[in-house]
Amino acid sequence: MKQHFPVERFESIVTPFYAYDMSLLSSTLEAINEAAPESFFCVEYAIKANHNPDILKAISAAGLGADCVSGGEIRRALECGFDASKITYAGVGKRDDEIRLGIESGIGCFNVESFEEMEVIAAIAAEMGRKAPVAIRVNPDIDAHTHHYITTGLAENKFGIAKELLDKAVDTVLSYPSLELKGLHFHIGSQVLDYEPFGILCRRINDMQDHLESRGVHLQTINVGGGLGIDYDNPDENPIPDFKAYFEMLRSNIRLREGQHLHCELGRSVVAQCGSLIARVLYVKEGIGKKFVICDAGMTDLIRPALYGAHHVIENLTAAADSPTEEYDVVGPVCESSDVFATSERLPLTRRGDLLAFRSAGAYGEVMSSGYNCRVLNPSVEF
Ligand code: LLP
């Protein structure tokens, strides 16, 4: 179904800005809740994908938890209505004041990524007279077959504790009276479209659980992280990822124990398709054998193409529907050769003043924008 943009309204707003389709977000949340029964799953939203307060309020109202990676995200989650007990604090570099904030707020879990961090959390919790709930992030050494900048579960990555050290990690957590062992946490990477690596992960988790149980260690939670990919090429055909298939795949591969819950931390799949970056065409520059569409949004507003070679579908919102098409390189105004959204992109005949939508930009778009070149991204708009 074609996404309907309120183009007339956009015409009067200063570009560039992000536009969010709130009804698509709410259908996406409904689809998640339908596909992931609460008796089995605890779905947390990875706030890093988009921390816009209205988006967060819609997500917390749908009952999801929050996966946070900084004290700032914990604060934002609490302000936007997330239940403290449904907040997880993850990340390889937690500061002491952020750990204190997490304990003070009564968050549900710290995902710990090193022995050094366990020691610090234990000391802070002891000093506060509290017990901190922790899950051990295990690096499962699985190739998620995604872009190497967003693959996280390989032994060579900085994330988690090597699976060979699992016993030692469990013993260490159990040795601190101020820590409570909740469970295990994993994350293999992002924009994963192939379910096979998730299947391997589930089987590896089953083996780890069997092993720990044989040692008399029982876990309350298993967290498989996030990573479910979206269809960047066909946002209109696939505006909502196939959550049914994803959760069913997890449910059929993982062997949960009585009373256990399976936690997931979905970011991109929740918010990517509801957001677009809206820009205006400044010039159509005739090069030699090439035409450039130079627009007023650049890599400072949406860095994914420059950073990962990602491609976002570009739609000309104002060109006539029956207009002939042409090939263009679509670029931004920033003084960097990597400030290119697309090369040889087929678009309707494009003119100065046209409005462009860079689709599927709701995740890791606005949140990764920067002020490089003293550039200003205008406030986002909802429709
Ligand atoms: N859990 C952990 C531990 C993570 O590191 C991430 C993402 C998530 C959950 C959420 O993953 P998602 O469901 O969104 O795939 N900026 C990059 C993506 C970086 C992802 C970082 N970690 C991009 O624009 O593609």
Atom nearest to 152 CA in ligand 1: 5
Pocket of ligand 1, beta carbon within 6 A: 46, 49, 67, 90, 150, 152, 187, 190-191, 225-228, 265-269, 304, 308, 363-364
* Contacts of range 254-258, beta carbons closer than 8 Å, 24 or more positions apart: 254/202, 254/205, 254/206, 254/222, 254/224, 255/206, 255/209, 256/40, 256/222, 257/209, 257/213, 257/218, 257/219
CA dihedral 169, 172, 177, 181 (to 10 degrees): 10
For a ligand 1 pocket test, name from 149, 190, 243, 277 the mutation site with the most ligand atoms within 8 angstroms of its C-beta.
190
Provide the percentage of residues in the chain whose pLDDT is more than 90. Answer: 93
- pLDDT confidence of residue 55: 98
Q: Dihedral sign, CA of 42, 130, 90, 372?
A: positive
- pLDDT confidence of residue 378: 98
Least confident interval from 104-118, 142-156, 176-190: 142-156
Q: How far away, in angstroms, is 198 Cα from ligand 1 center? A: 15
Least confident interval from 65-74, 135-144, 304-313: 135-144
**C-alpha closest to that of 266 among 62, 54, 129, 81:** 62
Q: How confident is the model at residue 235 (pLDDT cuts 50, 70, 90)?
A: very high
At residue 151, does pLDDT exceed 70?
Answer: no
Atom nearest to 91 CA in ligand 1: 3
**Atom 23, ligand 1: which residue's CA is nearest?**
364
Q: Measure the CA–CA gap between 41 and 26, rounded to whole angstroms.
A: 19
> In whole numbers, what is the pLDDT of the chain averaged over residues?
96
- The total number of residues shown for the chain amounts to 383
Q: Measure the CA–CA gap between 27 and 23, rounded to whole angstroms.
A: 6
Average pLDDT over residues 162-171: 96
At residue 61, does pLDDT exceed 90?
Answer: yes
**Atom 6, ligand 1: which residue's CA is nearest?**
226
Tens of pLDDT, residue by residue over 266-314, are: 999 999 999 999 999 999 999 999 999 999 999 999 999 999 999 999 9
- pLDDT confidence of residue 153: 63
The three-state secondary structure class of 270 is helix
The three-state secondary structure class of 351 is coil
CB atoms near residue 245 (< 10 Å): 12
pTM: 0.96
- If you ran DSSP here, which 8-state letter would residue 373 be given? G
**Atom 7, ligand 1: which residue's CA is nearest?**
190
Domains of the chain, first to last: 22-272 (3.20.20.10), 273-382 (2.40.37.10)
- pLDDT confidence of residue 177: 98
Tens of pLDDT, residue by residue over 313-351, are: 999 999 998 999 999 999 999 999 999 999 999 999 999
Atom nearest to 90 CA in ligand 1: 3
Q: Is the peptide bond before 6 cis (omega within 30 degrees of 0)?
A: no
To 5 degrees, how large is the angle CA 9–CA 330–CA 297? 50
Atom nearest to 185 CA in ligand 1: 3
Tens of pLDDT, residue by residue over 102-127, are: 999 999 999 999 999 999 999 999 99
Q: How confident is the model at residue 51 (pLDDT cuts 50, 70, 90)?
A: very high
**Atom 22, ligand 1: which residue's CA is nearest?**
190
- pLDDT confidence of residue 154: 66
- pLDDT confidence of residue 152: 67
Q: Measure the CA–CA gap between 278 and 357, rounded to whole angstroms.
A: 5
Q: How far away, in angstroms, is 174 Cα from ligand 1 center? A: 29
Q: What DSSP line would sit under 181-235, residue for residue? A: EEEEE---BSSB--SHHHHHHHHHHHHHHHHHHHTT---SEEE----B---SS-T
Q: How confident is the model at residue 150 (pLDDT cuts 50, 70, 90)?
A: low
* Contacts of range 281-286, beta carbons closer than 8 Å, 24 or more positions apart: 281/350, 281/351, 281/352, 281/353, 281/354, 281/355, 281/356, 282/333, 282/352, 283/352, 284/328, 284/350, 284/351, 284/352
Q: Measure the CA–CA gap between 147 and 5, rounded to whole angstroms.
A: 31
